[in-house]
Structure 1
Amino acid sequence: MGQFLLVLIAALALAGCGKKTTPAEPESNAAPKVAEDQLKPPEDESKKPEPPKVETKTASKIPANAFVNSLGMPFLPVPETKVSFCIWETRVKDYAAYADANTEINDHWKEPAQFKSRGFKQPDSHPVVMISWEDANAFCEWLTKKELENGLIKAGQKYRLPTDAEWSIVVGLAQETGDTPESKSKGNWGIYPWGKTWSPPKGAGNYGKDLKVDAFNYTSPVGSFEANEFGLHDMGGNVHEWCEDKRNPNELPRVLRGGAWPDSITIILRSSFRSGNTPGARVADTGFRCVLESK
């Protein structure tokens, strides 16, 4: 009997020890956080953290004296010239109207491979990019014909790209010296779209990220920053803009003016700086602005 009790006690002790070594069932809400993170889809480029927000002065109102065309593009006259400048860069939706009306053209910007080659998204209010000098001129010719036929502009008026000299006037450089756009590019070192000091103040425009003056990683809506003395927005920053002229009469490249969203180098952001590219080149930081000429 004594031996039986000893065996029974030992068995109970072993059973108790066995229960202590059995792991408890995990609660349904106690899954490791890393597992939750693995279930989330990867974040796309548009959701990445942006630079610190900077207050901008937007073009909420179109000036009362502006001529607004059929696409909603506002133009202001420039004194001492025969042209009115569009107050902002040609938008995605403006160029879309042209492409939709001309199905026979090479809609490179609508083809998925070409459209995505920019590497970032662009709403309708952003300046259209991946547009060549040839594309920009074709847009101006189409818009001229369209509005002449509809009686919206008069005979003798036409849309076109600004000349290099006209561009200089509206950035305060009417008295530049030099025989060619290329030679003029070497002057006026201390003049920028925001003033005569380096570096740009916060809210000066859409420039390179390391300058930390705006809240945009890529292009920004047109008119997001304060207009200059001529009532024009983004004459520096956002995108480089085509001009009509050659950079040098003996060379092929056409003039590009204004800094763009990737730029942060002092020389490129000067108001007098001219870069250039071949007429057929399409680049993700290059767009255009129209002028309306009246003879």
Structure 2
Amino acid sequence: MNNKYLIVCYTLVVSVLLCAGIGFCSSNSLTQVHPDISASWTNSLGMKFSPVSGTDVLFCVWQTRVKDYDVFVRETSHSREKPDFNQGPTHPEVNVTWNDAVAFCKWLTAKEREAGLISTHQEYRLPKDWEWSVAVGLNERRDATPKQKDEKIKKVYPWNRGKGTWPQPKGAGNYSSSLEVDVYDRTSPVGSFTANAHGLFDLCGNVWEWCDDLWEPGSKSRVSRGGSWAYGHAERLLSSCRRHAPGFRSDNRGFRVVLSSSSE
């Protein structure tokens, strides 16, 4: 092996190390790749995200899991109220207020910006009510309030890719045990049932999901969508929503996050 070959090899190794250290090279950049809003992505907690056509956000394919919330609580000492039933690490976190969900989103945004995993123009947040509607395939007015839209679209249910009719078939999702369509008495592991057309799981059933919106202008109540393991017929409608104070918590309410541009 001649000296010229050794020098070339050494130069290549040093170049690679410098690129890794400073994040770029003059002609062959090794820059941090941030998530593309048009492509699937997995974050540092293992939360998987998928694009939803008609929106400019990435939706988490699952409701926020117990193991995702574990990291938040451990790193921030945020208060937590466990339900009176057993949950595994992949069950959805429950007893979460709207305020708790927003705090989780702000923490995760700061954590991943600092790590360079998302850009300073990207943020985690709760979905807008209209974004949630698009995700389940509803064609609703964006300028209407949740109060104006609540249960206005009739006879449209989530099963069969949003074309289901009542009654729901067995295995359609995690709903009230009185309906006898699933084997779970309370929450179920996320992703236990068939995903929708966008690859999103449990948009209806398992737990209600907080959205960002107020019920109507001037209201202090926040909106949740999707129904849960504890609810029956009317709450299965894709257009159904509920309102509660931002400090309200229950063992059938959780949340799902989206990744968006903070300039929106």
Within a 5 Å distance, the mapping from 1:189-268 to structure 2 comes to 189-194=154-159, 195-264=163-232, 266-268=233-235
- The aligned counterpart of 1:77 is 51
The answer on whether the counterparts of 2:54 and 2:134 sit within 8 Å (CA) in structure 1 is no
Distance in 1 (CA, whole Å) between partners of 2:54 and 2:177 is 37
**SS of corresponding position for 1:167:** helix
Within a 5 Å distance, the mapping from 1:132-143 to structure 2 comes to 132-143=97-108
- The aligned counterpart of 1:33 is none
RMSD over aligned Cα atoms: 1.3
- The aligned counterpart of 1:156 is 121
Distance in 2 (CA, whole Å) between partners of 1:187 and 1:169 is 15
Within a 5 Å distance, the mapping from 1:101-180 to structure 2 comes to 101-103=75-77, 105=78, 107-109=79-81, 115=82, 118-176=83-141, 179-180=144-145
- Map Cα deviations across residues 201-231 of structure 1 (whole Å, 9 max, x no partner): 1110000011111000000000000000011
Distance 1:248 1:208, change over 3 A: same
The answer on whether the counterparts of 2:55 and 2:134 sit within 8 Å (CA) in structure 1 is no
Query: Is 1:96 the counterpart of 2:70 in the alignment?
Result: yes
Query: Is 1:87 the counterpart of 2:87 in the alignment?
Result: no
Distance in 2 (CA, whole Å) between partners of 1:228 and 1:282 is 27
- Map Cα deviations across residues 168-217 of structure 1 (whole Å, 9 max, x no partner): 00111133487311110131111011133101111100000111110000
Query: Is 1:279 the counterpart of 2:251 in the alignment?
Result: no
Structure 1 runs of 4+ with >4 Å offset:
none
**SS of corresponding position for 1:155:** coil
Structure 1 unpaired stretches of 5+:
1-64, 110-114
State the percentage of identical aligned residues: 48
Equivalent residue pairs, number: 221
Distance in 2 (CA, whole Å) between partners of 1:177 and 1:169 is 10
Within a 5 Å distance, the mapping from 1:48-87 to structure 2 comes to 66-87=40-61
Q: TM-score, normalization: structure 2?
A: 0.81
The answer on whether the counterparts of 1:178 and 1:184 sit within 8 Å (CA) in structure 2 is no
Structure 2 unpaired stretches of 5+:
1-38
Distance 1:181 1:231, change over 3 A: same
Distance in 2 (CA, whole Å) between partners of 1:219 and 1:273 is 20
- Map Cα deviations across residues 97-137 of structure 1 (whole Å, 9 max, x no partner): 0010012x3x233xxxxx2xx22111111000000000000
Distance in 2 (CA, whole Å) between partners of 1:174 and 1:147 is 33
Distance 1:178 1:66, change over 3 A: closer
Distance in 1 (CA, whole Å) between partners of 2:237 and 2:141 is 13
- The aligned counterpart of 2:30 is none
**SS of corresponding position for 2:210:** strand
